Structure 1
């Protein structure tokens, strides 16, 4: 396993070379006439060349062979990956899924790519404006296969099983309660160690970044120093024309063959990299007087839209924390929202729905669809003694929140067999406490 190092802040330059080839990084020029060790220089750009310096993203890769050396791409089987948001009728109801099933390897072998299932989404990858939410369930490693996304960024949230992700920049070991971001165009392969499941948020048209802190000040939420990037690692391996490069392009999958490993980058430098983050490092901000603060205070990463303060997507977590507010209903309040909210559970028991919402499952509360605590949670919280209490101990729930009105796929509504038909009943036991003669 390659060493990990700290990323010195979003947007800042990182430098790395494989220790087996000291001096592999050229001195003074990004693209010299002859690179050290006979390497090829290749730039990976994640932004337009003329973007402002603060948002300009690119990295230089020094590799044994450039990535252009492959046979033509050809269409391949899509499986359950889609961006066709019209394949099923619109569904405004509250939706909840039981844990998504992982096939046994003895029954059906699925690697990370073949195990991808699109659950919901909106927008259009061609116009570079939209999002998709995918579930991955896999039981075998990617062998002589790599994957890259021409459409946007992937934010990967493992829930069961760890992922050893090999990228052009090096290796990342990502375990449950950690996240990983593979940005647009970066090639990667995923090794698993048994039955593995997780969630993935895809954004078209923007990169994930840290949210602005505003009145919070300089410190809090996710700190730049806690994001890790891989150290350069390479393999010089020939595969006799049998290495498959898979591209997701305009929402469809294509494959091309080549005769060498794409993970042949000996050194790199730049500010456009894959990275991972441990959710335990999040510094929670919370109410200490009264009222229930909005969930935006739990935002880890955001992908901004062109409208100020409105995101294509936010990644929000609900980690263990203290609740200390006076005379305040402490669970999430009943709510209708101009955003779409998909929730997942990595571990533990979510305080607003302790019984029905399970790790490895999910829920979708669409735009302006009402939602909130179930009846049992409401009664319990209304009668609870108001004193400092530990909330969500041993639990990690998260939310993908988006300004898009998301459509659910046929797989999500029918094929997966995990959709709960009776989710609405968790609110049926709510009863009226209204008494006009008692204030």
Structure 2
């Protein structure tokens, strides 16, 4: 595969043109009257026109044919995409899933769109408030098919297999331990090279942004320069039989046909683009004296709500790092939280779970449902010698955290076949160690 080129930076005003057509970017949106190379000018807006300048999201695309050149949309098979949060009754229990099974190509070809499965979510698409968590399980590339989401942004977290993503802005190559964000309305297609699995966080009505750093200062966590935006690339291709454009609109799937590839953008400029990020570039902040800091110190991206400091969704990672705090319990503490926490594992072994939480699986701890280290982890951590140690080497766990109370779909609770019915048993061996006559087990009675 030829090396793909990128532009560095998060949320920047950028410009790019395919080197095959030098000078394809006009000076101004549509100046002169006819664009260079006789291209069409088209604006893609990711925010209201009148948003303040620092939150206004839009890009101009200069393309061979405008995206309006298609046949009418018609409803298609909905597959496993589901935004009906009342499909089954609520379940406040701690939930854990074994690795989600990828269909075998020899049995049935499944591409990225047909392999989307909604696991849980909350809110309302029509009012632009909420989120959904999807799992993608696929074994085949999208052939003369593309997808775009009218409902929200997709944050894609691959766990197994590599993705080559074609977008209107250019191509991105994505592999495990990298993420990408395809923002609302952007058309894309996914090639895969083997059985492929991953997680998606979808947010409605807001966009992901870098968290404020506060007392951390100017630098730290995910740095803007490490985010990569694809360089313009186009294909001028007629498609016999038609190219299928699939749209997710109000939670339902629709399809239309057009005669040409939608990836016909020769040049673009703006600040509303897809982007990717390598999780290895995250600058970890951690406790160096005592205590266990809140997981918010590991936030890569946030999608803010209207309440200050409260997110519709945060994307949080738990990367390799040093543990040096003393006089403290180092693993995550036992916890009840007003937030909902969905966790996934890209690779390795998560420190607070000795077994059962596996790459390609997940867990959900709903609002105010208690959770924390299993019994084995607690016993080992309570007796461990507190000296500097490496934590999570070869591991990458992540969390989708939300202020919304998430509902699990029927597929997640009943039909996926991966729900771990014995998850609660990992805490059953916990025993009371209360010593009412001495403050410490080492003190005389």
State the TM-score, normalizing by the size of structure 1: 0.99
Contact 2:14 2:271 in 1 (8 A): yes
Per the alignment, residue 198 of structure 2 pairs with: 198
CA apart distance, 1:30 = 4.1
Change (3 A) 1:28 1:86: closer
Alpha-carbon distance in structure 2 between the residues aligned to 1:158 and 1:9:
20
CA apart distance, 1:28 = 3.7
CA apart distance, 1:82 = 0.7
Contact 1:64 1:266 in 2 (8 A): yes
CA apart distance, 1:318 = 0.1
Change (3 A) 1:112 1:228: same
| Structure 2 residue 143 is matched with structure 1 residue 137 | no
Per the alignment, residue 155 of structure 1 pairs with: 155
Deviation string, structure 1 residues 167-198 (Cα, Å, up to 9, x no partner): 00000000000000000000000000010000
CA apart distance, 1:31 = 5.3
Per the alignment, residue 278 of structure 2 pairs with: 278
Contact 1:321 1:392 in 2 (8 A): yes
Per the alignment, residue 326 of structure 2 pairs with: 326
Q: Which runs of 5+ in 2 are unaligned?
A: 440-445
| Structure 2 residue 364 is matched with structure 1 residue 354 | no
Per the alignment, residue 63 of structure 2 pairs with: 63
Deviation string, structure 1 residues 18-71 (Cα, Å, up to 9, x no partner): 000000000244454100001000000000011000000000000000000000
Contact 1:2 1:230 in 2 (8 A): no
SS of aligned partner of 2:345: strand
Alpha-carbon distance in structure 2 between the residues aligned to 1:4 and 1:354:
41
Contact 1:7 1:14 in 2 (8 A): no
Alpha-carbon distance in structure 1 between the residues aligned to 2:101 and 2:330:
33
Deviation string, structure 1 residues 131-184 (Cα, Å, up to 9, x no partner): 000000000000000000000000000000010000000000000000000000
SS of aligned partner of 1:358: coil
Per the alignment, residue 289 of structure 2 pairs with: 289
Q: Give matches, 1:27-176, under 5 Å.
A: 27-30=27-30, 32-176=32-176
Deviation string, structure 1 residues 367-415 (Cα, Å, up to 9, x no partner): 0000000000000000000111110010000000000100000000011
Contact 1:58 1:272 in 2 (8 A): yes
Alpha-carbon distance in structure 1 between the residues aligned to 2:238 and 2:59:
25
Per the alignment, residue 211 of structure 1 pairs with: 211
Per the alignment, residue 310 of structure 1 pairs with: 310
Alpha-carbon distance in structure 2 between the residues aligned to 1:9 and 1:208:
11
Change (3 A) 1:281 1:30: farther
CA apart distance, 1:355 = 1.2
Alpha-carbon distance in structure 2 between the residues aligned to 1:198 and 1:392:
20
SS of aligned partner of 1:59: strand
State the TM-score, normalizing by the size of structure 2: 0.97
Contact 1:30 1:60 in 2 (8 A): no
SS of aligned partner of 2:211: coil
Change (3 A) 1:245 1:166: same
Contact 1:31 1:41 in 2 (8 A): no
Per the alignment, residue 253 of structure 1 pairs with: 253
CA apart distance, 1:356 = 1.1
| Structure 2 residue 388 is matched with structure 1 residue 388 | yes
CA apart distance, 1:437 = 1.3
Per the alignment, residue 8 of structure 2 pairs with: 7
SS of aligned partner of 2:432: coil
Deviation string, structure 1 residues 333-386 (Cα, Å, up to 9, x no partner): 000000000000000000000311000000000000000000000000000001
Contact 2:24 2:37 in 1 (8 A): yes
Q: CA RMSD in A?
A: 0.8
Alpha-carbon distance in structure 2 between the residues aligned to 1:431 and 1:259:
67
Contact 1:2 1:171 in 2 (8 A): no
Structure 1's consecutive aligned runs of 4 or more residues displaced over 2 angstroms after TM superposition are 1-10, 28-32
Deviation string, structure 1 residues 49-96 (Cα, Å, up to 9, x no partner): 110000000000000000000000000111110100000110100000
Alpha-carbon distance in structure 1 between the residues aligned to 2:229 and 2:29:
23
Alpha-carbon distance in structure 2 between the residues aligned to 1:267 and 1:420:
49
Out of 295-304 and 25-34, give the one that drifted further.
25-34
SS of aligned partner of 2:378: helix
Alpha-carbon distance in structure 2 between the residues aligned to 1:352 and 1:30:
56
Deviation string, structure 1 residues 254-293 (Cα, Å, up to 9, x no partner): 0000000000000000100000000000000000111000
Change (3 A) 1:28 1:87: closer
Q: Give matches, 1:332-343, under 5 Å.
A: 332-343=332-343
Per the alignment, residue 238 of structure 1 pairs with: 238
CA apart distance, 1:208 = 0.2
Contact 2:102 2:196 in 1 (8 A): yes
CA apart distance, 1:3 = 2.8
